[in-house]
Each structure stands twice: as structure tokens, then as C-alpha cells.
Amino acid sequence: MKRGLILASASPRRRQLLDEAGYAFEVDPSDVEEPGPAAGADPGAYAADLAWRKARAVAARRGAGLILAADTVCAVGGEILNKPVDRDDAERMIRLQEGGDADVITGLCLHRGDRPEWLGAIEVSVVRFRALSDAERAAYLDSGRWEGKSGAYGVQDRDPFVSVARGSFSNVVGLPMERLAALLAAHPALLD
């Protein structure tokens, strides 16, 4: 069992990934507002900034412990695709990604609550999105499985039209476990 973390997220997918990897952790969602990106915003910088804001908010509230925060976005041609606001927005996102590749970018932040120390990273994976028939797209949109998911899909749901073409599967789910383990191994003082 690895030393405890404070997860600044209510995401059940992130909790599951940490559980499966054997991390001891508690959940303390940041409740930080997630403003939409500014026009032309860099997807990696946007995700990293949101992760840092979430970690900082929980660190300030807790005053101690190692806070883990993450924010995951999809991007196509530099356009950031956050969580869709409704069915029409989900359809727009799916159509943008169909028949091509999309970047999935997670900003990751580890922040000490009792010291002004933090560490950030950005992980990028590529997802391949096959073309859908009108019937497949409508059925998927009617299912509601797109709700609450960046880019309007969840690779962990085994959606048959998306696959990880390059990079970390766990990153596409929402928390790059390989990068997290590497950061903790390279910076053991964060755990003191």
C-alpha cells in the first residue's frame, strides 16, 4: 500500500484508478469553478492551470497532506473540448472527432498542504475515433453516456468507436497512473 494522498476530485473514475493501483487516499473535492478556456488557449496549459487551482484550493483548506488534483480535456485541432453542456453540444464534439484522432490531455498537480511546494505535469494521449453512422450516433447520444465526460465519450465505458492510439489508457480515463507513479518516485520528499 502506498502512502496516502488527498484526491481533490469527486470523479469515480479517478477513485477507481487509485484503488486499483493500491494507493491509500481520501477524497476531498475542490469545488473549484472550471471556467471555459479563453479563445486560442493552449489545451495543456489550460488543463494544468485547472489542476493547480484545484490542488491549491484543497491545500489551503486542509493545511496538511499531499493533495492530488487533475483536469482532463480533449482537443481537436487545438480546440478544447470540455464536458458537453447538453445533447447538441455532445453531438458537435462527436462530429468533430469522428474519423480522426483527438488529443487527451491531463494536467496533474501534487501540492503539499503544509508547505508552499507543488509539482505539475502534463500527459498527452491520442484517441482514434471511428466514423459513426447516423443511427449509431443517435443511439449513443440517446444513451446519455456522454454526460460529464470531456470530449463526450468515455474510453473506460468500452465505447466501440474509440480506442487509444498512443499513450496512456489511464490518462484517457482521467488520471495518468504511470506519470503519477514516476512523479512520486522521483520526488519522495513530497510524501514526508
Catalytic residues: 71
DSSP 156: G
Cα–Cα distance measured from residue 132 to residue 138, given in angstroms and rounded to the nearest whole number: 9
CB distance 34 to 54 below 8 Å: no
Q: Which three cell numbers stand for residue 46?
A: 489550460
189/172 Cα distance (integer angstroms):
28
Which residues is 123 bridged to in the sheet?
106
What is the rounded distance in angstroms from the CA atom of residue 177 to the CA atom of residue 28? 19
Helices (H), strands (E): how many in the chain?
6, 7
Question: Cα dist. 35→123, 146, 180, 181 in Å?
Answer: 21, 20, 25, 29
Buried b (16+ CB within 10 A) or exposed e, 77-100: eeebbbbbeeeeebbebbebbeee
